[in-house]
Every structure is written in structure tokens, then in C-alpha cells.
Amino acid sequence: MTNKSPTKQQPVHSPSKQTSMGIDVTNTPIFATVVEVKQWIKSEAQALGFADCGFLSVHHPLFAQQIEQLQQWLDKGYEGQLQFMHNNHDLRAHPAKLVAGAQTIISVRMDYLTQTPVPRTVSDNDYPNQGIIARYARGRDYHKTMRNRLKQLALSIENKLPEWQHLNIGAESDFIFRPFSDSAPIFERPIADAVGLGWTGKHTLLLNKSAGSFFVLGELFISLNLPDDKPVDAHCGSCSACIDICPTQAIVAPYKLNAAACISYLTIEHKGAIDIKYRRAIGNRIFGCDDCQLICPWNRYANLTSVDDFAPRHHLDNIGLIELWQWQESDFLEYTKGSPIRRTGYISFLRNIAIGLGNANPSLDVIDHLQYRLGYSEMLDEHIYWAITEQKEKLKSSNK
């Protein structure tokens, strides 16, 4: 197992090549230092579509510190219905317990944009009759993509172990690994921050000077002992664009998000009726929200993804609210196969579209479409009546 103290091994050498004079010219170790091992893992990760990676010990002190901050966040009730944030604090504080034998976390980030947004602009507001789906969710579910590729990274590392046995990093022991992405009680953003994949912005997301914030995070726990990377400096300065733009004022202070008020939470995680006080602010966002990222000046440096899985399916990057509203449950199930949108469920999806239609440009056609769905569920009906009233009020004032 992993915690075995490494035994002293003979250095592994690259295969010998002989010159025409019979002199061995390559009898030197391929990997002379641990830094070279880390560099090799990084280039392997990049070849697999990850934009970057960094390394952190599973015993790093940040986990205990984060538990305290998480508890303060929960004490304020910012988690809404996110019940899972109350669970498994012991595992969060001790990631070593999550994967027995793991020593190091490889934190990775993967860019997901397939189109460059207009810098410092929430252009989603310019299309009130379109249903806006957050950019990370327009293609295949990133959780699977990330975990599959992290597994491939682990298998490449495993193949390399014989060449690393002289480095005292545990390469001679059984190799243990486990990939994660948003799939376990892990402080993903704080880990990525600690290894320098970016800094935590005032919107609470990780962002990077040369890549903005439109990326997702994942981790590969491994049994090799690799030295920690270092954090980078923060560059938010006096900017507060994300706080100012947030439609529901969910960023209650720099680095403090009231998740229960965030459109991402309301449209994806929240079950049941959405509080009327948020409905106008939600606008046409029917699954997630990108506003605090779209406005961020650093996202002018956001990179496009190299991973095909993020390519929008069923023109979800440019789709009308009415078209989405007409999806039957069977359409929803078919079109969201392998997509994160499945998570919200059909009724909540319709609830979100009803809000979007209430906020769409006023038209009798929209009212007709809203009416024909009445009677499907009590919760949905209440949102439909709200949307019809909004539409009628707008029509009345436009006729004045």
C-alpha cells in the first residue's frame, strides 16, 4: 500500500542506444527530479484537454480552515435547499479519508467556452425571447468528461511508475487513484486556489489572469508523494463589477455568496416554487447564470475549449423560449440525455421557462402558449398565472 516508506531503488535508465563506435550515449535517467515528474504529468494533462493542473498534499492545513468558513456560511442559511453542504464535514476536513492511501491531489481545470463572449457585457439580456442556458451546460455533462479524462491521466501515470522508482515518491508501491469532479465533499475551488490555478474572485469563482473563469474543476487523488504548488496573487483590486451586475444581489459582500438567492441555484437546484421577489430578476435565464462572469474584465482573456464535449447540442446556445416550452417530457428526456440539464427535472425546467416567458417581450402569442400548459401541476400553474399577469401588464402599458 501507499504509506509504505519507499525502499531505495536503483535509478531507472532510458533504453541504451549505441553509436557507430559502440559508445552508450543515453545512459542517463529520463526523470532526474520530482519537478520533471510534475512537468510530465502537466503536459500529459494538457494533452488530455485540461488547460492546467497543480499539486497539493491531502494533509494541507487549508481543509481545516475551510471547514470553519463553511460553517459560518451555513450558519447564515446561504445554502438554501443544498442539504449536501451539511454532510460529510469530516471527509471535507480530511480528504485523506476520502481515498485511503492517497497522498496528493492533482487539481485540474478545463476551459468550456465554445464562443468568445463580448467582453464586459451581459449580452444574454439582449435576447429576451431566447432561453439562456449557462455556457458550461450546453453540451455533454462535464462531470463525466472530466472524470473519464482524469482516469486516463491516472492510467498514463501508472504506466510511467517504473521510471520514477528512484525518486522516493512512492512509485514502487501499489498505485492508488480516484478521479472527482463536483462529485464528492471536496473543497474544489479552495484547492485550485491553493495550487495557483487562479485566485478566488469576489464572485467566489476561481479566475486566472490568462484564462478568465469559464472553466470547470476536477481532482485526481493519487498515492504518489509530490510537492505542493504555490498560490498566485489575486487581481480583483478595487473592481466590484460582478457584485454590481448580479441580478438578484446574491453576492452579499466580496467573496460571500448567498446561494439561496443565486439564479444558478434557483434554476438548477431549487425544488418547488421560486420566490416572486426573484422572478423578474431571473429574466430569460432558464438553467444557470453567467452574468457575474460575463461582466468580469478578466474574461476578455477567456480561452475557447479544446474539448468537443462542450459543443452545444440541439442549438441550446440559440434557442427560443417558445420552442423549449413546447418540449414534451419525452423530448426533454431525449434532448437532455448525457446533459447536466437533466438534473433539474422536467417540471422545474418548465417552471423556469414560464418565468422566462413572463419576462419575454409582450405578445398575445406568448399568453396563448402559456395558457395551453395550465393544469399540468399546481406549482407550475402558479408560475404560469404569474407569467400571464406580467405579459398582460406589459401589453397594457405598451398600448397606452
Q: State the binding string over 197-226 for ligand SF4 (x if CB under 6 A, else -).
A: ----xxx---x-------------------
Residues 247-286 that bind ligand B12 (CB under 6 A): 255-257, 259, 262, 264-265, 269
Residue 310 interacts with ligand B12 (CB under 6 A): yes or no: no
Rounded CA-CA distance 393/37 in Å is: 65
Question: Is 124 designated active site?
Answer: no
Instruction: For 219, list phi and psi in degrees, rounded to 5.
Output: -140, 145
| Distance between CA atoms of residues 61 and 95, nearest Å | 11
Distance from C-alpha of 223 to C-alpha of 145, rounded to nearest angstrom: 23
Q: Which of 174, 182, 228, 275 is catalytic?
A: 182
111 dihedral zone (left: phi>0; alpha: psi -120 to 50; beta)? beta
Chain residues 21-80 in contact with ligand B12, contact rule CB under 6 A: 66, 69-70, 73
Residue in this structure with the C-alpha cell 502537466, named with its chain if needed: 42
Minimum CB distance to ligand SF4, residue 143 (Å): 19
List of long-range contacts for 232-238, beta carbons under 8 Å, 24+ apart: 232/196, 232/198, 232/199, 233/199, 234/199, 234/200, 235/199, 235/209, 235/298, 236/199, 236/201, 236/202
User: How many residues belong to the chain?
Assistant: 400
Binding flag, residue 239, ligand SF4 (CB under 6 A)? yes
CB 219 within 8 A of CB 179: yes
Which residues ranging from 125 to 164 are in contact with ligand B12 (CB under 6 A)? Answer: 134, 136
Residue with smaller CB distance to ligand SF4, 201 or 218: 201
Residues 181, 186, 187, CA angle at the centre, nearest 5°? 105
The distance between the two most distant Cα atoms of the chain, rounded to a whole number of Å, is 97
* C-alpha dihedral (354, 359, 360, 364), degrees to nearest 10: 70
The three cell numbers of residue 375 are 393544469
Nearest by Cα to 367 from 344, 396, 340, 347: 396
User: Binding residue per annotation — 380?
Assistant: no
Residue choice 262, 321, 350, 388 for contact with ligand SF4 (CB under 6 A): 262
- Please state the closest distance from residue 250 (CB atom) to ligand SF4, in A: 4
Residue 53 is labelled as binding a ligand:
no
**Rounded-to-integer distance, Cα 285 and Cα 308, Å:** 24
Q: Which does 197 bind (CB under 5 to 8 A by kind): ligand SF4, ligand B12, none?
A: none
State which of residues 242, 260, 354, 380 lies at the interface with ligand SF4 (CB under 6 A).
242
In this chain, which of 206, 236, 286, 302 binds ligand SF4, going by CB under 6 A? 236
Choose between 153 and 289: whose C-beta lies nearer to ligand B12. Answer: 289
Residues of the binding site: 92, 182, 200, 206, 217, 236, 239, 242, 246, 262, 264, 271, 289-290, 292, 296
Q: Which residues bind ligand B12 (CB under 6 A)?
A: 66, 69-70, 73, 82, 134, 136, 181-182, 186-190, 200, 203-206, 213, 215-217, 255-257, 259, 262, 264-265, 269, 288-290, 292
Residues of the binding site for cob(II)alamin: 92, 182, 200, 206, 217, 264, 289-290
